[in-house]
Structures are given as structure tokens and as C-alpha cells.
Structure 1
């Protein structure tokens, strides 16, 4: 019998069910409810949610606390037949995290191909969180690439067609952290439904590939951006978004607060978010406004002031330009939908 101190799971990287079956065996889980597994025994305790949403698109959520270290050792495939995106605790990839700066979120985002050996350690007596999406090459081509414009489609196609080993790890940002919040706040295990899991997985998929294409994550090292500078941008951006009723600070104020020149700040912000500070902030205000309007709890004037517009007329004009309908039309549409229900 293997020692728990040296416990390890070795599996074929291109066969996701192989990892799950070995993990269940190690954790001594014999019974499960559909695609939900819960356990509390000598190995530790936790919950696992794993399912195939559709052919070529699998999702897995691990929330564990083990009594001994567990080494995860995938065996690389010869070709990149599968791709994995994971949001997980930032200490699971300890060796590769040398350049990752700690931030307000205890998570990182990882992109890996099946031809790489992305070994991990599940450390003992620490809460382990990992939300993973695994895609076949065919699924990405059919569901992501064909819906993109020509240039981003070529960019993404170039990545997935390569048989070079790909392993990239970066800090999580505010958008990806919202996905984690959803996973931690929704009672997925009790609801035991693919629909909610599918919605969350799809949200992460769309956000992730958009960021990958726009270089909003995995900033290329040849741009000579320091990880600490990137983290400063994420931190200041999160601070701006905490109260959308306040006007966005000027570039001069923002750059001074993080100790950068205005030119460097604008360049780095654009590289990370593929947008200017003003436009990013405006988009967030409008998205929040749409949520307020959809709730039916507020008037248009109240919503305008709640998201930082001094004049409701300006708010209505920009809202219509962005979403193709006025706030009044938007509210009417959702009122009718509510009546139908």
C-alpha cells in the first residue's frame, strides 16, 4: 500500500475521465449522486462536481481539504488534442508561480494543452479550489472560432493548431473573480443541475477566450511588463469598480496613485483590458445600470444617478447608443417578459 506522504495520481492528460476515476479511488468514494461526489473520511473531506456538458466540453469543480499531500502527475499526449482552462488556488503550481505577484484574490488562471505535463500538488490541511474547463480541439473550432471575426479567429486557431506544449499561468482579474464568486455562492451541489453549471462554465469560457484573444491575460513577456505593475493596474481597476456612482478618476490621478507615468499607465491598461480606462468604466456602469433596470426596483432617473450620471437624459442617450434601445424600452421589454411568466 502506498504511503500517504508520497501519494500521487498519474493519468493520461488527454483522457480527463482517467483523472477523475483515480481521484475517486484515492479518496475512497464509492457512491455519488449523478455527477456530484461528496466525502468525509480518513483522506479528508470535500465535494466534487464533474460532468460532460456536451461532447468535447467537460467541466469539473473541486473543493477539497485533504489530510496528506497529494501529487497530481499528468502524462503528456503526443499531440494537443485537448485544452484546459482552470481557475485554482495560486499555491497549487508552486514551482511555476515564481513570477506571479500575490493579489487580493487567492486564485490564478491557467491555460494548458494536453501535450504538457502540468504537475500539481494538493497540499494537506489547506482548502483546495479548482474549477476546470476541458475542451477538445474540435469543440473550440466549432463553438468558438467559427463565431469570431477573421483576425481573432486566425489568432486563436494558430494557438490550438500548434502541437507545441502550452502552459501559461497568470493572476486572476476582477472578471474571472466574479465567476469564482458565483461558484462559491451558488449551491451547485444541492441544486444538482447541469443548467446552472453550464451557464457558469459558458460565462467563464466566453470571458476567457475574449481575454486570451485580446491579450487581457497572459501578458507576453516580450512587452517587458513587470508582474507587479500589472498587478497594480488590476488593483486600481478593482478600486474604481467598487463604487460606480462616483466619476472615474483622471488618468493623471490614477497613474500617480500607482507610481507610473501617464503614458506607461495608459499603455499597460490598454494591453491588459483592451480598452481605455474611461470606456471600460463606462461599460461597467452601463452593464450595472441594465441590471438595476431589469430588477424593476428603480426608476430610470434613480438608476442614472446610481451609476454616476448627473443627467438622466445623457444616461438615456448613451444607454440607447450602447444597447440599441432606450432604458424605457428595455424596462418595457422585461416587464412584458415578467407578465408572460
Structure 2
């Protein structure tokens, strides 16, 4: 089966989806969706054309058996591509939609990474893990036309990282509301029919906020600093996510596990995430609590217990420090904000 390139000549998904469709013995559904058959897993990959040189990919699937993810790039095409990837969550399938064990990763504030697609990469997709990701893909020419300041800054950063043999990716720590928009997009694209104009509008808003964050960074060298230990620090952050419903491991435990001195670990964690490890961990834990309380599916006492607090007063005190209101007042505050 031949797939047409939806947005641009050097579209890596063209080659990848062609190979994947052969490996999995599946066909495209409605010309934009690759659905996995039950014997292989469940879910889909959607490819949505937004405009010339700009498209979106939505990954929402799990595999019954691990398989290599081979990302191909047409090195003969004279066209540099960029991909802005949002990770909405990667959780064991058995935990899907389980309110007693919410997906901590879906609340993380380290899920936005921009990088040039200029090579072939192979990753192993593990079995029985629900992958939920959104990728905005666009050409350098499109970026120059629509975001000239950001295009100049990104080119400067990528060139610097290349000269220093650092990984050429640009992470940015965005706010909770930013990822709420990402998750809204994911929910819309879960449907077979959805308004593409909503997706395009939200995609441009997210991209604009991310690029503004990059432009506001005064020195390109700061991204060089981030990339030095970035792969290890990201693994540390992922490790922390697994403890959001219990207690945080000590700095000594983390530094021993990842073969870093405590001072190096803490210094570079703050460089990448903008705050120390404990404050970052606590912020993520409380974000889960806020979401559960707002959902009205759990009482405040139940939420406090889920997050490892044995006394509701202790939970309420920390909650108010971070959000400015007591847990019992969060829904009233949300109603007030909704009317504004």
C-alpha cells in the first residue's frame, strides 16, 4: 500500500507509516487513520493535514508485543523539518481510566520538546504501555514565514548544539494550563469526526506559546547547559512520576541510581525544570490532587490518602500554599473563573 505525503515532500511519516502498515498488516481508515488490529494491540495513529508544510500527528495506542519504532528521514530532500512533541502519558494498559490510580505522567510539566528531524532513529515501543502523544510537524520554510524571530533563534540553538556535539533538541517547561489544552486536543481527536479548525487553532496557540518561551531565553548557551545532562535528568523526572502517589525517594537514592553526585543532580535538575527536585515533585503531586478534587469523583479525605497524606490538615495546608485556596474551596473558585 502506498501512502501519499500529507504535508511535505520529506515527510518521515510517509516512509514510517508505509512500513508500519506492512508490518502490522493494516490499512488506512478514512485516509488519515492507521488503526491497529486486535491481534496486534489497540488504538491508532492519525495524520491530519492543517495547511501546506504544517500537519499534526496523534498517537494513541498500545501493542501486545514490543516492536521497533523506525523513524525514517529522506536525506536527499532539501528540506529541514521540525517536530514539537507533547507527551500526554505512557501508562500500563491495566491502569487506563482507573481513578484510584490516576496517570501521574498526564500531569507532568516536562512534556514539550522541539527538535529537527534530520536523521533516522530506532526506538523500542514496549508492550502493554498506552502511548499518547501529539506531534506538530512543520518545515523550516513554514517556520520562517510564520514565526521569523523564533526561526532565527531555533537555528542558532540547533547550530550551537551541533557544533558542541550535543543532542539537537530544545525542551521547554510549560504551565499546567498549557497541557490542559494539549489534553483537550487529544480528547477531540479520539473521535472519528471532529472539527479540524479547533485542532488547528489550538495547535497554533500551543506552538506560539512554546516558541515565545524559546525566544525569551536570552542565551542560546542555556540550551547547551540543558542538553549536557538532559537525557539523564529526564529519566530522573520520569522516575519521580512513579512516586507521586507514595513518598519521594531521597536525593541520595536518586543520585546513586543515576550515577550522579547529589550536587550535580540537583543543579542540573533545576537548570532543566526551573526549580529544585522537591518543589517540582510536590507541585506535580498536588496537581493530581487538584484534578481529582475538581472531578468530584473523590472526597478530599480520599484524595489526601491517595497522595500519601495521613492527616487531612497537612494536605490542606500544603494545598493552600501552592494554590491559594483550601481544597474544599477549589470547585467554587473554578466556577468563578469559568464566569470571567
TM-score, structure 1 normalization: 0.53
Per-residue displacement from partner, 1:15-51 (whole Å, max 9, x unpaired)?
Answer: 62674997699989998526436699xxxxx965222
Aligned to 2:242: 242
Q: Which residue of 2 aligns with 1:49?
A: 46
Which whole-Å CA distance do the structure 2 matches of 1:307 and 1:278 have between them?
A: 15
Q: Which runs of 5+ in 2 are unaligned?
A: 38-42, 88-111
1:35-91: CA deviation from partner (whole Å, max 9, x where unpaired): 436699xxxxx9652224478752024789x9xx9964155557x7x6333589xxx
For residues 84-121 of structure 1, the C-alpha deviation after alignment (integer angstroms, 9 at most, x for no partner) is 33589xxxxxxxxxxxxxxxxxxx966117xxxx2437
Task: For residue 192 of structure 1, report the CA deviation from its aligned partner.
Answer: 3.6
Where structure 1 has 5 or more consecutive residues not aligned to the other structure, the ranges are 41-45, 89-107, 143-153
1:189, 1:314 → 2: CA distance? 38
- Give how far 1:226 is off: 5.7
| 1:16 and 2:8 aligned | yes
**CA displacement at 1:275 relative to structure 2:** 2.0
Match of 1:159 among 112, 137, 154: 154
Pairwise CA distance, 1:277 = 0.7
Q: Indicate yes or no: 2:132 matched with 1:137.
A: no
Alpha-carbon separation, structure 2, partners of 1:307 and 1:267: 27
Distance, in Å, in 2 between the alignment partners of 1:256 and 1:187 is 42
Q: TM-score, normalised by structure 2?
A: 0.53
Can you list the C-alpha shifts for 1:125-163, whole angstroms capped at 9, x where unaligned? x99x99631243268649xxxxxxxxxxx8886225789
Provide the C-alpha distance between the structure 2 equivalents of 1:84 and 1:317, rounded to a whole number of angstroms. Answer: 41
In the aligned structure 1, how far is the partner of 2:71 from the partner of 2:241? 38
Q: Does 1:280 align with 2:280?
A: yes
Q: Tell me by how many angstroms 1:236 deviates.
A: 4.0
For the aligned residues, what is the CA RMSD? Answer: 6.0
SS at match of 2:248: coil
CA distance in 1, matches of 2:308, 2:53: 43
**Based on CA coordinates, which of the two structures has the bigger radius of gyration?**
1
Q: Evaluate the alpha carbon distance shift between residue 39 and residue 275 of structure 1 in structure 2; reply closer, same or farther with a 3 A threshold.
A: closer
Cα distance in 2 for residues equivalent to 1:336 and 1:139? 40
Tell me what 1:84 maps to.
Answer: 83
When structure 1 is superposed on structure 2, of 236-245 and 282-291 the one drifting more is 236-245
Q: Distance in 2 between matches of 1:262 and 1:121?
A: 32
Are 1:87 and 1:110, in contact at CA under 8 Å, matched by a contact in 2? no
Other-structure match for 1:36: 33
Question: Does residue 318 in structure 1 map to residue 329 in structure 2?
Answer: no
Count residues with an aligned counterpart. Answer: 274
Relative to structure 1, the CA distance from residue 164 to residue 262 in structure 2 (aligned partners, 3 Å threshold; closer, same or farther) is closer
